[in-house]
Structure 1
Amino acid sequence: MFTMSRRPVNPSRRLVDSGNVSFGASLESKTRSSPLLSIGLVILGAILLFAYSYSSGLQHIFDLIIQLYRTRGIDVSSKFEGGASCTLELQQALPILKKAYGDSMRSVLHVGPDTCSVVSKLLKEEDTEAWGVEPYDIDEVDDHCRKLVKKGIVRVADIKFPLPYRAKSFSLVMVSDALDYLSPRYLNKTLPELARVASEGLVIFTGYPGQHRAKVAELSKFGRPAKLRSSSWWIRYFVQTSLEENEAATKKFEQASAKRSYKPACQVFHLKAYP
């Protein structure tokens, strides 16, 4: 049976989901007391006016935070604008993955958007070689990313077709924010292809159902909106594709995560490569 890094339960969500009826009852009781309701509306109006007055300043602070992260090579736009980015999540989890996989991270292929950032981080690790596949057209990239593409370290390739690598070219293949946009028809080709080029294992970061949707601006790039699947769906699919869970890596990843109090915002699957 597969295990995975589970998303922590959000207490506030549980309260909202279980409190719909009581919220309605509370609203009804408040309408019976017009003085209290009037006072509440006045206070609410004052708060809204205060927030509106400072909205431009808050937006300026927000923009500065985004700019600071980008100057450090981290793309946080999707995390703030449309939900959790599993590529950003993977970057944050790299020290934990290093603990879990050890020598298996000596030769890594990352497949997913913003792969230049992931590859750059991996190349800073001692005794680690890294390559990347960007599944979508690269429009605006920095000079460092252009150099990685020019050297052939990062390639732009449609993952619906065979990858330009020999079998077992990499000890570990990492995937993020890529499989969620493929229909089962293309998954049947892409997932075995990812396993083909791995010699020791695969790590797959996928979104949770209901977590986020592709923004309208992304639809032309991805071709279709993300279809986020449940863990049970993925587990059945892995079994159908003859991919087995890497139980040893899963256990080490969970232990390292617990020590660092790390709770992934995405589903994380650890799989063995094909024999």
Structure 2
Amino acid sequence: MSADDRFFRLITTNTMSRRPTRRFTDGGNIPFVGALHHKTRSSPLLSVGLVVVGAFLIIGYLYSGSGGSSSDKEIVSKLEGGVSCTLEVHKSLPILKKAYGDSMHKVLHVGPDTCSVVSKLLKEEDTEAWGVEPYDLDEADSNCKSLVRKGIVRLADIKFPLPYRAKSFSLVIVSEALDYLSPKYLNRTLPELARVSAEGFVVFSGYPGQRRAKVVEISKFGRPAKLRSSSWWIRYFVQTSLEENEAAAKKFEQAATKRSYKPACQVFHLKSYH
């Protein structure tokens, strides 16, 4: 083989070995992207279609379950990494039923998102439920607005007397509302909760330093939430002549232990005034 033949063969070999490298870099470092463009022109539309379908599937999943109400709030709560004591009421309803039995037949819930709690209670057999919403209902859904029109849920400032007669309800459950009240207004609200309940009331309150899932730093009451310790609450209950409902508290603890349920909020069981 002559020197010219060897030179020609060397050039040809080097050129062929570089071709795959040029094709790969032309494709933006994505394998097979060039082949896809040559095979079909509809691939961008196909990609967009897959993204749209995927988005609809995700939205459908999020809204599946209990009508896109409490389940949506639970998802938001988990994403934000905070704690909602009203959501905790949802989780603890089976435990409360074990602790209060017949007292769960006529229930009043007081606190934010009361429509979701009332709706869930109304699905229970032999249960009547009402609610008091201490915040605005500007973003309420159609189900909540329907409960308000029927008078089942009321918008009321709990710093003032509740719009119900004495012992109107067998059990009152309050969540995420007392945390926003100063001792001055707690002196009015706590006796009201005891007044309208016949067989006791339950308070769900956040722990000190706990981050809230539903952040309403400046609420209707014009002050940020102040999360207090259990010892603070117990002292305050004693000062307002409220007694612990020991029997209900014991049943609640036993049912919670049996179900391996640990409340994310403080739960106080109190007696009504007699």
TM-score, normalized by the shorter chain, greater than 0.5: yes
CA distance 1:220–1:100, change in 2 (3 Å): closer
CA shift at 1:216, angstroms?
A: 6.9
CA distance 1:245–1:216, change in 2 (3 Å): closer
Percent of matched pairs sharing the same residue: 76
CA distance 1:71–1:166, change in 2 (3 Å): same
The residue identity in structure 1 corresponding to 2:233 is W
The residue identity in structure 2 corresponding to 1:119 is V
State whether residues 107 and 171 of structure 1, in contact with CA within 8 Å, keep that contact through their aligned partners in structure 2. Answer: yes
Q: Which runs of 5+ in 1 are unaligned?
A: 1-59
CA shift at 1:212, angstroms?
A: 1.6
Instruction: Tell me which residue corresponds to 1:73.
Output: 69
Instruction: Tell me which residue corresponds to 2:87.
Output: 88
Once the two structures are superposed, the pairs formed by residues 1-275 of structure 1 within 5 Å of their partners are: 67-68=63-64, 71-74=67-70, 75-76=73-74, 77-78=76-77, 80-81=79-80, 83-213=82-212, 218-221=217-220, 223-275=222-274
CA RMSD of aligned residues (A): 2.2
State whether residues 214 and 226 of structure 1, in contact with CA within 8 Å, keep that contact through their aligned partners in structure 2. Answer: no
Q: Which runs of 5+ in 2 are unaligned?
A: 1-54
Deviations 1:20-42 (A, max 9, x none): xxxxxxxxxxxxxxxxxxxxxxx
Q: TM-score, normalised by structure 1?
A: 0.73
Aligned counterparts of 1:216 and 1:259: Cα–Cα separation in 2: 32
Aligned counterparts of 1:127 and 1:172: Cα–Cα separation in 2: 14
| Worse overlay, 236-245 or 71-80 | 71-80
Q: Which structure is richer in relative contact order (CA contacts within 8 A, separation 6 or more)?
A: 1
The residue identity in structure 2 corresponding to 1:199 is A
Deviations 1:40-79 (A, max 9, x none): xxxxxxxxxxxxxxxxxxxx89988765577442123345
The residue identity in structure 1 corresponding to 2:253 is E
CA distance 1:123–1:150, change in 2 (3 Å): same
State whether residues 159 and 190 of structure 1, in contact with CA within 8 Å, keep that contact through their aligned partners in structure 2. Answer: yes
| SS of residue matched to 1:268 | strand
Q: TM-score, normalised by structure 2?
A: 0.73
What is the aligned residue count? 216
| SS of residue matched to 1:93 | helix
CA distance 1:88–1:257, change in 2 (3 Å): same
